[in-house]
């Protein structure tokens, strides 16, 4: 079980690291003026919240497929797929904001903070994959 979790957490860490590297090397984020948003950029502030809501919706819908009577491998596959769908939506929001000039860069910070917040935890992984 711990080996499966290590693989799972490694995937998460590489996705997070890839996003951070992309941000460091491609974004020219002015951290002093991060909260200065023009009126034309207000509509783009919904992007991170739509991404978060969509990722949670996809995650929860996929997690409904987990059955307590299923074996550990089936539950692991469903949980991993649900998590990957969640992470992909959030990563997409970060990269969209990163490469679209008119979108305020605060969106990157919002999504990145949420992405860090949903870090995989072993107790939750064990609770979902092999309920007793």
pLDDT in tens, the chain (132 residues): 788 889 989 999 999 999 999 988 886 777 777 778 888 788 888 999 999 999 999 999 999 988 777 788 888 889 999 999 999 999 999 999 888 888 888 888 899 999 999 999 888 888 888 766
**In 3-state terms, what secondary structure has residue 70?**
coil
Give pTM, 2 decimals: 0.87
Q: Which of 86, 41, 28 is nearest to 59 (CA)?
A: 86
Q: How far apart are CA 105 and CA 100, in angstroms?
A: 10
Q: Among all chains, which residue has been given the structure tokens 């948003």?
A: 37
């Amino acid at each position: 079980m711990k080996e499966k979790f290590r693989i799972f957490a490694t995937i998460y860490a590489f996705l997070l690291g890839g996003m951070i590297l992309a941000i460091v090397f491609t974004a020219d984020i002015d951290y002093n003026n991060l909260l200065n948003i023009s009126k034309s950029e207000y509509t783009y502030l919904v992007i991170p919240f739509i991404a978060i809501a969509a990722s949670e919706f996809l995650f929860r819908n996929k997690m409904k497929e987990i059955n307590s009577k299923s074996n550990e491998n089936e539950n692991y596959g469903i949980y991993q797929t649900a998590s990957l769908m969640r992470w992909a939506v959030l990563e997409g929001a970060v990269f969209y904001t990163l490469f679209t000039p008119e979108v305020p860069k605060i969106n990157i910070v919002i999504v990145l903070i949420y992405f860090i917040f949903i870090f995989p935890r072993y107790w939750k992984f064990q609770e979902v994959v092999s309920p007793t």
